């Protein structure tokens, strides 16, 4: 490790003879090459690491950078690019974004201390992929209003106008209630599919505000751990979950490395 750099750590995997060559072909955060770090003893594990500039990844500087959405987006893209490249070759246990150690000796110590946890998680994740499933209620605010009624000579213009506005509101309310019922039905279908195919699932926070990626209201945001051999069938079933239902849509992403199922007690020590 060169002076002025820290050890950015992406993931942990079982050690194999081909991983060094795989890592050598990957460029990581800050354009740095990725390489392997092994524990000093025990299980055949490796961590994937690259040097990053201390000036940007020191605890104080990193905290400031993470408030810059452009910088954070570039970091996340590079981090996930490494994970996905590795996941195409082996089962990986992704570590949290911006997991940084003072040096490679600290990375080795982390591997030494957490061997049993890493081995257990890697065995559980072997042959599994993650799918993201988001369900949206997608009734537009400009739902077509009812046609204007024929003039009623017994009503003045003001009362006729109010009656029509009430009818419009009733129409919108009916559309929303129908969409909510459709969303409940779609959620039941997704749950049935998950029971049939997924080995684990995780519920994430709903996407709102800047995190929302499309029209409609996000009503569920879940991740599913699915055996690779059943991944295509799982996706096909999920995509059919909204068939015949109006006002709802499902967004399926993946397959991904198992980010949502790799959570560990915080292993990182931030550089002071």
Task: Name the percent of the chain in helix, strand, coil, to the closest 5.
Answer: 45, 25, 30
Q: Residue 147: what pLDDT? A: 52
Predicted local confidence at residue 193, as pLDDT = 96
Q: Cα separations (Å) of 230 from 131, 133, 227, 252?
A: 12, 16, 5, 15
Alpha carbons 80 and 71: distance in angstroms, whole number:
14
Q: Backbone dihedral region of 254: left (phi > 0), alpha (psi from -120 to 50 degrees) or beta? A: left
Residue range 192-247, pLDDT digits in tens? 999 999 999 999 999 876 656 667 889 999 999 999 999 999 999 999 999 999 88
Residue 38 has pLDDT above 90, yes or no: yes
Residue range 112-116: mean pLDDT, rounded: 92
Residue 89 in contact with residue 18, Cβ under 8 Å?
A: yes
Q: Specify the pTM.
A: 0.76
Q: What is the pLDDT of residues 130-187, one digit of tens each?
A: 999 999 988 654 444 545 555 556 555 655 555 545 555 544 555 567 788 888 999 9
Q: Tell me what the mean pLDDT of segment 39-50 comes to.
A: 91
User: What is the residue-averaged pLDDT of the chain?
Assistant: 84
Joined together, the tokens standing for residue 229 give 């051999």
Q: What is the pLDDT of residue 21?
A: 85
Query: What average pLDDT does range 35-55 have in this prediction?
Result: 93
- Contact (Cβ atoms closer than 8 angstroms) between residue 36 and residue 23: yes
DSSP characters for 128-146? EEEEEEEEEE---TTPPPP
């Amino acid at each position: 490790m060169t002076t002025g750099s820290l050890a950015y750590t992406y993931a942990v995997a079982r050690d194999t003879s081909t991983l060094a060559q795989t890592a050598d072909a990957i460029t990581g955060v800050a354009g740095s090459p990725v390489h392997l770090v092994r524990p000093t003893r025990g299980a055949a594990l490796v961590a994937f690491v690259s040097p990053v500039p201390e000036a940007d990844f020191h605890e104080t500087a990193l905290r400031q950078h993470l408030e810059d959405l452009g910088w954070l987006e570039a970091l996340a893209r590079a981090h996930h690019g490494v994970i996905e490249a590795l996941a195409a070759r082996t089962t990986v246990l992704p570590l949290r974004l911006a997991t940084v150690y003072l040096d490679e000796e600290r990375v080795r110590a982390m591997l030494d201390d957490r061997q049993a946890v890493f081995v257990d998680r890697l065995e559980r994740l072997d042959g599994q992929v993650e799918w993201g499933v988001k369900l949206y209620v997608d009734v537009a605010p400009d739902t077509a209003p009812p046609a204007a009624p024929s003039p009623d000579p017994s009503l003045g213009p003001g009362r006729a106008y109010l009656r029509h506005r009430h009818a419009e509101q009733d129409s919108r309310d009916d559309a929303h209630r129908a969409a909510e019922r459709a969303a409940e039905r779609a959620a039941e279908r997704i749950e049935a599919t998950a029971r049939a195919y997924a080995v684990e699932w995780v519920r994430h926070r709903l996407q709102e505000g800047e995190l929302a990626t499309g029209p409609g209201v996000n009503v569920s945001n879940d991740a599913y751990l699915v055996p690779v051999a059943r991944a295509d069938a799982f996706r096909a079933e999920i995509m059919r979950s909204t068939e015949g239902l109006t006002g709802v849509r499902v967004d399926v992403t993946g397959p991904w490395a198992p980010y949502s199922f790799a959570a560990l007690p915080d292993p990182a020590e931030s550089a002071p």
